[in-house]
């Protein structure tokens, strides 16, 4: 809209949150002209797993920064280890980045640079700054020293340039077995920074690569590939997580030796969430050991899992923004994420009537064959979403939880002799409770007040509760999957003596069948999100078929009554 742009700009004047330390660094660069005012970032995932909400933070940071500074962002796959990487992951990562709402400037692969990296390695060898080492992996470890003791030089460290050149070429030609030798940078085996103790640049891997096939049998390590890849792409700000902080001197060293464009690496603390795990290793175990049903199981913190669960991209972006950027390790309360999810869904989700655990209600004074329709707002938060028709008749379903034979204080819902409102319909009063032989309540006999049509009493009398309901003869049935936290404790990884799987929540999934839905949902399509009034937000699962709808609970509505019960109950 034409009026929107100026408004947004004006709002930003006053509402712009304080800049984080990364943006301040960029401002400083722009002041001093370090990169000529350019801002070029990149998101560099390794395609060895699915993206999760932790990656989303990095994606958000890189793309939103570039956007704010009029810059660009590349998507680059760090595909330097063909033993772990697969095309499946390359595809899913692209899908997820797009779904989050971002489009990259260029799609690149570290493997695009294998030739250049090889040439640069040769250059370092010529300069006497790299050498082929025939120490075994174990020996290299021994020679590296420890945290408190310096390492010692490899006996192969002083081979001549000619010999190194010859050996390295033969490495490339495949004349050596895996592990027989490596190419190492010649830096300082006594450096207090272990990353500088002659790090490995190339290792032999007789494995074909998803992109380069069998062209190579030597592959650059991440340390050798990453900085130069950024440099080649003209990246100005190379944003990464904290654990790479002490690799920065190494990347700087490589780039300085090569004399090429020098990006600024900036490290920030990755996002962690309570009641979940966010490491690839653990996520892979959850999938491979069958604790969840795949990478996109709605209980997974993966982007694909969250998507299937019904979470919106905006909710994820909001969380990233809300939690801020800093350098201190932290664990964000999952409730902050739930808040973001509810906040977005409240504004965009159409409302629907859905009775998850049905209790039959017969309106005894409502004519047997009568049916009428009520027109109700699709979304009270967004009148432009229009209205829908709800059919009403003599026999209805309400939620089992919405009736108590012997209600405790503060329980406002239906009880014997009590009057409540059926949302958008009538006041009803419970006259009789029907039980089976076991004493279970199986049906309620109620009367309605025709004068309260639409939900208001002309005499001004009030009710304390409004219930959702579905007409029996008009209802459609569905399966509803209720998800809860995957783990029972805030940090399943905090106890070093226990496997995180010991803290799996056995009740993380509850499947309900025979749920009764308003008929307007009959044509709901996978991915669509709804608010089931008074219950929560639900998304149509791809498992749905023409005859059978399946819904995933994204998140519950905030629930004052449940909170009260918890306080008094346990």
Residues acting as catalytic residues: 46, 270, 280
Residue with smaller CB distance to RNA, 233 or 533: 533
User: CB 455 → RNA: shortest distance, Å?
Assistant: 2
Tokens found for residue 513? 């069948």
Question: How would you classify the pairing of strands 200-204 and 182-185?
Answer: antiparallel
533 sits near RNA (criterion: CB under 7 A): yes
Size, binding site for RNA by CB under 7 A? 94
User: CB 438 → RNA: shortest distance, Å?
Assistant: 26
User: CB 223 → RNA: shortest distance, Å?
Assistant: 6
421 sits near RNA (criterion: CB under 7 A): yes
Tokens found for residue 3? 């009026």
Tokens found for residue 149? 């003791």
Residue with smaller CB distance to RNA, 11 or 245: 245
| Binder among 101, 234, 324, 391 for RNA (CB under 7 A) | 324
Residue with smaller CB distance to RNA, 329 or 440: 329
CA terminus-to-terminus distance, the chain: 52
User: CB 564 → RNA: shortest distance, Å?
Assistant: 6
563 sits near RNA (criterion: CB under 7 A): yes
| Binder among 135, 232, 255, 433 for RNA (CB under 7 A) | 135
484 sits near RNA (criterion: CB under 7 A): no
d(CA 54, CA 63): 15
Of 225, 146, 227, 134, the residue nearest 191 (C-alpha):
146
What's phi and psi for 428, nearest 5 deg? Answer: -130, 155
Residue with smaller CB distance to RNA, 200 or 489: 200
Residue with smaller CB distance to RNA, 162 or 245: 245
25 sits near RNA (criterion: CB under 7 A): no
Residue ranges in 369-398 that form contacts with RNA under rule CB under 7 A: 379-381
| Binder among 108, 342, 516, 553 for RNA (CB under 7 A) | 342
CA torsion angle 550 555 559 563 (round to 10): 110
Contact 345, 529 (CB under 8 A): yes
437 sits near RNA (criterion: CB under 7 A): no
Residue with smaller CB distance to RNA, 380 or 542: 380
210 sits near RNA (criterion: CB under 7 A): no
Q: Is 177 helix (H, G, I), strand (E, B) or coil?
A: coil
Residue ranges in 75-134 that form contacts with RNA under rule CB under 7 A: 78, 80-81, 84
Query: Taken in order 536, 540, 541, 545, is the CA torsion positive or negative?
Result: positive
d(CA 339, CA 387): 27
Residue ranges in 226-285 that form contacts with RNA under rule CB under 7 A: 226, 242-247, 269, 274
| Binder among 66, 97, 204, 550 for RNA (CB under 7 A) | 204
62 sits near RNA (criterion: CB under 7 A): no
68 sits near RNA (criterion: CB under 7 A): no
Of 278, 274, 275, 269, the residue nearest 301 (C-alpha):
278
DSSP string, 314-375: HHHHHHHHHH---SS---B-HHHHHHHHHHHHHHHPPEE-EESSEEEEEETTS-TT-EEEEE
């Amino acid at each position: 809209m034409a009026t929107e742009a100026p408004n947004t700009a004006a709002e930003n004047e006053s509402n712009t949150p304080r800049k984080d330390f990364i943006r301040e660094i960029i401002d400083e660069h722009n002041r001093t002209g370090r990169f000529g005012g350019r801002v070029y970032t990149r998101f560099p995932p390794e395609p060895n797993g699915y993206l999760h909400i932790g990656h989303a933070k990095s994606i958000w940071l890189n793309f939103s920064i570039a956007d704010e500074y009029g810059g660009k962002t590349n998507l680059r796959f760090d595909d330097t280890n063909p033993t772990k990487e697969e095309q499946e992951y390359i595809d899913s990562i692209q899908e997820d980045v797009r779904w989050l709402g971002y489009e990259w400037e260029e799609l690149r692969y570290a493997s695009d640079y294998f030739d250049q990296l090889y040439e640069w390695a040769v250059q370092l060898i010529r300069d006497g700054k790299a050498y082929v080492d025939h120490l075994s992996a174990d020996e290299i470890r021994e020679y590296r020293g420890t945290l408190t003791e310096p390492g010692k030089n490899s006996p192969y460290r002083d081979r001549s340039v000619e010999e190194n050149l010859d050996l390295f070429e033969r490495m490339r030609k495949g004349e050596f077995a895996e592990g027989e030798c490596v190419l190492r940078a010649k830096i300082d085996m006594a450096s207090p920074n272990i990353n500088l103790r002659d790090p490995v640049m190339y290792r032999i891997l007789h494995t074909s690569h998803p992109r380069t096939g069998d062209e190579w049998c030597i592959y650059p390590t991440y340390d050798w590939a990453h900085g130069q890849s950024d440099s080649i792409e003209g990246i100005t700000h190379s944003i990464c997580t904290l654990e790479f902080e002490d690799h920065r001197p190494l990347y700087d060293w490589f780039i300085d030796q090569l004399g090429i464009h020098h990006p600024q690496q900036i490290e920030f603390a990755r996002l962690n969430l309570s009641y979940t795990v966010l490491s690839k290793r653990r996520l892979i175990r959850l999938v491979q050991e069958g604790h969840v049903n795949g990478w996109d199981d709605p209980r997974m913190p993966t982007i694909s899992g969250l998507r299937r669960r019904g979470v919106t991209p905006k909710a994820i972006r909001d969380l990233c923004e809300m939690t801020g950027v800093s350098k201190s390790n932290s664990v964000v309360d999952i409730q902050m994420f739930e808040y973001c999810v509810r906040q977005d869904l409240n504004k965009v989700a159409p409302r629907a009537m859905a009775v998850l655990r049905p209790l039959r209600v017969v309106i005894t004074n409502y004519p047997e064959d009568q049916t009428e329709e009520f027109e109700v707002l699709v979304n009270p938060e967004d009148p432009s979403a229009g209205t829908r028709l709800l059919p009403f008749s003599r026999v209805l379903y309400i939620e089992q939880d919405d009736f108590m034979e012997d209600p405790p204080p503060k329980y406002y819902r239906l009880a014997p002799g009590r009057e409540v409102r059926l949302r958008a319909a009538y006041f009803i009063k419970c006259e009789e409770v029907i039980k089976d032989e076991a004493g279970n309540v199986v049906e309620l006999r109620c009367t309605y007040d025709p004068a309260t049509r639409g939900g208001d009493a002309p005499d001004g009398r009030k009710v304390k509760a409004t219930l959702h309901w579905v007409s029996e003869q008009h209802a459609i049935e569905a399966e509803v999957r209720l998800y809860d936290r995957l783990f029972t404790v805030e940090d399943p990884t905090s106890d070093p003596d226990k496997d995180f799987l010991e803290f799996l929540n056995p009740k993380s999934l509850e499947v309900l069948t025979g749920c009764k839905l308003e008929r307007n949902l009959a044509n709901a399509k996978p991915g669509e999100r709804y608010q089931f009034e008074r219950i929560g937000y639900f998304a149509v699962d791809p498992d749905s078929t023409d005859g059978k709808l399946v819904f995933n609970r994204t998140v519950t509505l905030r629930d004052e009554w449940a909170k009260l019960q918890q306080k008094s109950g346990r």
